Amino acid sequence: MLEQLCRRIEHAGPVGSGASLKLAVNLPLVIYYQALGEAYSLCRHLGLDTDRIVDLFSDTSGGANILKARGPMVAKGMRGDDPQPVTFDVDSFRKDLGTMVAEGSELGLSLPLVERTLSVYDQASQEGWGTKDGTSLSGYWSSRSERKPTG
């Protein structure tokens, strides 16, 4: 049955191992969305269309595979549009980030990048972005950088 439902099946070990592996797989993704928002903030002043920027990123060393699959949604989020449908919302990423911090602590690890990223996702959720698709975080960060005073 799993073979019909899943693209890939991996045995990771005893019960609970799959959850650890899932968190490890999601970690670069949630941090990438934050990094993408910051990257967009650096070039937004150029006035380029967000679809063009996402296409450029996806075709360079700055692009993660997620852009090939969800690039149009990311571009919508950067424009401030609401990417639809919501497949994995900001609050779900927050839950995963919190679990990553807890798992790291249990293993005696410090995960400063995850902790800082969680604080950004917490802030986004507090500002009403919690139920938006995770791809919208790039737009959230971009909108915050617009409000930052210059000089």
Q: Give the pLDDT of residue 148.
A: 54
How many Cβ atoms from other residues are within 10 Å of residue 22's Cβ? Answer: 13
Q: Give the pLDDT of residue 4.
A: 87
pTM greater than the 0.75 cutoff? no
- Is the pLDDT confidence value at 129 over 70? yes
Sort 136 into a burial class: Cβ within 10 Å, 0-12 / 13-18 / 19+: buried
User: Using an 8 Å Cβ cutoff, are 121 and 97 in contact?
Assistant: yes
- Is the pLDDT confidence value at 150 over 80? no
User: Using an 8 Å Cβ cutoff, are 37 and 134 in contact?
Assistant: no
**Residue 120: band (very low, low, confident or very high) from pLDDT cuts 50, 70, 90:** very high
| E strands, the chain, in order | none
Q: Give the pLDDT of residue 3.
A: 85
Residues 6+ apart with CB under 8 A from 80: 139, 142, 143
